[in-house]
Amino acid sequence: MRTILIASALFLGSTLLFGQSAEQHPEWPGKGLLFVGTCYQPVDRSPEQIRKDISLMKQAGFTMVRMGDLSWDAFEPSEGQFEFAWFDQILEQMNQAGIKVILDIGGSPAPIWLHHKYPSVNFVKAQLCILRNATWTISAIRLIAST
């Protein structure tokens, strides 16, 4: 127990020694201010809706958004075929509006083509039933609409 307490104290102390400060980051907001933003999923929005969304974010004083998660199926609609131009346009619009973007990794859930080709990526409950989530449904709708 004593070893754990000492290790914890050393760890916490080292985080104070090597922590980041506002002086090292002039782009951070001033003392007492926060970044204001949201997690934004533009993947199913039209270009006009996206322009309106960004305008509303700017009017609301948003300074940051997190984007990219839940977009794997849009980034890679079929195996080995990557499409980023649509996302690049949104990043540019955010930049023009003065809104910084935290780029999230498009991960789980995987695109529907991956589930078909590699069923082992499916989420399966203990009762052996496959879980279908919102992204699976959205991917299926996109796949049907594109054919």
Residue 2 lies in a domain: no
> SS3 of 127, please?
coil
Look up residue 123 and give its two tokens. 């989420």
Range of the domain at 118: 33-145
Query: Can you state the angle between helices 85-96 and 47-59, rounded to 10 degrees?
Result: 30
Neighbours of 74 (CB within 10 A): 20
**Has residue 18 been placed in a domain?**
no
Q: Please tell me the distance from the alpha carbon of residue 50 to that of residue 7, in angstroms, as a whole number.
A: 49
Q: For the CA atoms of 52, 55, 47, 132, what is the dihedral angle to 10 degrees? A: -80
Q: What is the CATH number of the domain that holds 67?
A: 3.20.20.80
Largest CA distance in the chain: 65
In a domain, 50, yes or no: yes
How far is the C-alpha of 124 from the C-alpha of 11, rounded, in Å?
38
Q: Where are the beta strands (DSSP E) in the chain?
A: 37-39, 64-67, 100-103
Does any domain span residue 93?
yes
Residue 4 counted as domain residue: no
Are the beta carbons of 91 and 101 closer than 8 angstroms? yes
From first to last of its 147 residues, what are the pLDDT tens digits of the chain? 667 666 565 555 555 555 566 677 777 766 666 777 889 999 889 999 999 999 999 999 898 999 998 888 889 999 999 999 999 999 999 999 999 999 988 776 688 888 889 887 777 777 666 666 545 555 555 555 555
Would you say residue 40 lies in a domain? yes
